[in-house]
Amino acid sequence: MIEQFRDVSPEAPELQPIISGLFGEYEARYGDYFSRDAEVELTEWYLAPQGLFIVLERDGEIIATGAYKPFDEHTAELKRIWTHSGLRRQGLAGRIVRELERRALLAGYSRVYLTTGFRQPEAVKLYLGQGYEPQFDIHRNPEEYSVEPYDGRLRFSKPLALDSRKTA
């Protein structure tokens, strides 16, 4: 069994069914909640030197993905963290996050930022377990963040440490 990370363009044909599936999962959890302010995404945000899109492959099959884009001059924003549905709860998303952190540090970023939705407790657990600092009260019912004045996004940040440069 051979596993390896590979840099890809977010427009790579092999990614399109995965990205569509990811947005399908969001729709299943949230309906049209987030569609009212659909994100504008530009491919160049995810290309070196300011961004990155990676896949983790096992024997040539994509089993996990992740990306970052610039949030500000010093902060990379993690996006598109996904794991194949049949391979979840095996630490693959954590490996993606650590590789993204390592690569963001090498690209000159000193912090990472991300958001997840209020109906993704597994993502909240992942980010807390990876040392992310929640920018919300983790003891509140996450559904409370879906009503005004909130926008449904649970925000996290983390300073990057020099030891993040080690291979994940």
Could you read off the pLDDT of 47-93 as tens digits, one per residue? 999 999 999 999 999 999 999 999 999 999 999 999 998 889 899 99
17/139 Cα distance (integer angstroms): 36
Give every CB contact of residue 73 below 8 A, 6+ residues apart in sequence.
none
Alpha carbon of 45 to those of 49, 87, 165: distances in Å? 9, 28, 22
Contact between 38 and 87 (Cβ < 8 Å): no
- At 139-161, the pLDDT tens digits run 999 999 999 999 999 999 999 98
Two tokens at 14?
């092999």
pLDDT per position as a tens digit, 85-120: 888 989 999 999 999 999 999 999 999 999 999 999
DSSP state, 18?
H
CA nearest neighbour of 57 among 25, 92, 89? 92
User: What pLDDT sits at residue 167?
Assistant: 47
Mean pLDDT of 2-13: 94
In this prediction, residue 36 carries a pLDDT of 52
Edge-first strand listing for the sheet containing 61-72: 3-7, 52-58, 61-72, 75-83, 111-117, 153-159, 133-134
Longest dimension (CA), the chain: 48
- Residues of the chain with pLDDT > 70, as a percent, come to 92
Residue 16: pLDDT above 60? yes
Q: Per-residue pLDDT tens for 22-37?
A: 888 888 888 877 665 5
